[in-house]
Amino acid sequence: MTITADQIDLWRSSASETQNLEFKEAKNQYDTKKLCRYCVAIANEGGGHLVLGIADKPPRPVVGSEAFPDTQDIAEKLFQWLGFRVDVEAVAHPDGRVVVFIIPGRPKGTAYHYDGAYLMRSGEELVPMSEDQLRRIFAEGQPDWLEFPALRDASAQDVVQLLDTQAFFDLLHLPYPTDQAGVLARLLDERLIERSTSGFHILNIGAVLLAKSLRSFPGISRKAARVIVYAGESKMQTVSDQTGEKGYAVGFTGLVQYVMGKLPQNEVIEDAIRKEIKLVPEVVIRELLANALIHQDFEMGGASPTVEVFSNRVEIANPGEPIVPVERFIDGYQSRNERLADLMRRFGICEEKSSGIDRVIEAAELMQLPAPEFLTGHKRTTVVIHGPRSFRDMNGSDRVRACYQHCVLQYVLRRQMTNQSLRERFGLSEGSSNTVSQIITATIEQGLVKNDPNAPDSRRYARYIPAWA
């Protein structure tokens, strides 16, 4: 493959550096150790191109590079250092010499390392891959946990006794078959069970979705959702600790209702009528519970989705670190368990198009709640939903987080954030424009949002978009 100057210009015009493109100036030279590390990281991410001689900031002018004058020599050395072939081409661009490293993707089920570090890119940095990511890579090509049998060689009668088949047909809005053979045929068609030499294997996905009691399946009983209620804002005093029993699909409505019943209530007066308002709206609980169930890492033993209810907030956590960066939860989507997500969507429990988190953010803005927090910890992903708090009581971190989420939500809706839209999000009057401007400035300084380059060059009519847009 011969790379042309036109191809270089096409890459330069891309909105941002992508998973497959990395630009470096390297006018005179480029560190070979850093080169090796980038080749490994890009290969681990599916392959792509490292381009020297181009500024990495828009509009990405060609600055030219004198690095690696002998491209064949560096290609041979890279093979010796890395153990995989990287092609190197020098392109004579009208504005200067450009060096392109053509990096292949890693083989399926394999991750590359350099000096013992399995690397990937994170913004401008190279970082080690997490344990979750490596486990997923090494498991590629192997059967998914959901496809393993939860119970082997069950009889036809066992299947209909252990799985809530009536709820299954109700969720799909289908009439219940007139005989047992029709029920089993549908379960087989959906690959929730499979035939065995002496009956049927009930697969993990069938049990985790449809089990009348997860305790009937020892291998998945620990996957049941757990709801813990505390007396105050800390974990010092536990009021209740309840673990679910039904499969996710057949028990989802009951789980949502149970959590809503445990939430603290606030008393408000609207139109001279006293009303009891829950700490968090049901739509938020519903969407976040669905996300926690669907996107958990089922390979992790001894861990389950957990809901913790405090007097001032709700924390919903699931096993496993996210496969989408937390700052891209609103606009990005990638399902860890695609078949489970598809079935939950068809059951009407979730939407498989990343609208769940959008809805959570919209609900928080509509009720002028503090912005949700999306956190990653050791083998765990947690969402924190805070109860009502006045703008005055929000700290700087709360305000910046709300500004960023509002900006992303506006961007997803094909709009741009303005001072006015952010004031409305906080429920502030026009007299608070300066305060809101300060929040926007702080968010820009943290590298989360930026000025829309297509907006009028006017402070009054300034518009903002996410920094990655």
pLDDT in tens, 336-370: 788 999 999 999 887 645 567 888 888 888 888 89
| Residues of the chain above pLDDT 90, percent | 65
Q: Are residues 295 and 164 in the same domain?
A: no
Which of 359, 386, 413 lies at the terminal end of a domain, its last residue? 386
| Dist. CA 20–CA 8, nearest whole Å | 14
Element (H or E) spanning 274, and its range? strand 273-278
Running DSSP on this structure, what letter comes out for residue 14?
S
Name the token pair of 13: 């015009």
Question: What's the domain count of the chain?
Answer: 4
Q: Are residues 373 and 238 in the same domain?
A: yes
In a domain, 270, yes or no: yes
In a domain, 103, yes or no: yes
Q: Are residues 103 and 197 in the same domain?
A: no
Element (H or E) spanning 368, and its range? none
Q: What is the tens place of the pLDDT at every residue in 95-148? A: 999 999 999 999 888 999 999 999 988 777 898 988 878 887 887 777 788 999
Instruction: Specify whether the CB–CB gap between 363 and 284 falls below 8 A.
Output: yes
From the centroid of its chain, how far is CA 303? 19
| Dist. CA 92–CA 71, nearest whole Å | 13
Mean pLDDT of 205-231: 95
Between these two residues, 371 and 272, which has the higher pLDDT value? 371
Q: Are residues 288 and 374 in the same domain?
A: yes
CATH of the domain at 302: 3.30.565.60
Helix (H, G, I), strand (E, B) or coil at 139: coil
Q: What is the DSSP string of 197-247?
A: TTEEEEEHHHHHHHBS-GGGSTTTGGGS-EEEEESSSSSSSEEEEEE--S-
Which of 386, 419, 439 lies at the terminal end of a domain, its last residue? 386
Q: Are residues 191 and 232 in the same domain?
A: no
Q: Residue 28: is its pLDDT beyond 80?
A: yes
- Domain assignment of residue 88, given as a range: 5-138
Number of Cβ atoms within 10 Å of the Cβ of 465: 20
CATH of the domain at 419: 1.10.10.10
In a domain, 413, yes or no: yes
The whole-number pLDDT of residue 292 equals: 93
Q: Are residues 178 and 239 in the same domain?
A: no
| Dist. CA 52–CA 23, nearest whole Å | 6
Which of 386, 413, 434 lies at the terminal end of a domain, its last residue? 386
The whole-number pLDDT of residue 257 equals: 95
In a domain, 298, yes or no: yes
pLDDT band at 269 (very low <50, low <70, confident <90, very high): very low
Most distant CA atoms of the chain, gap in Å: 82
| Dist. CA 162–CA 160, nearest whole Å | 6
The whole-number pLDDT of residue 125 equals: 83
Mean pLDDT of 204-209: 97
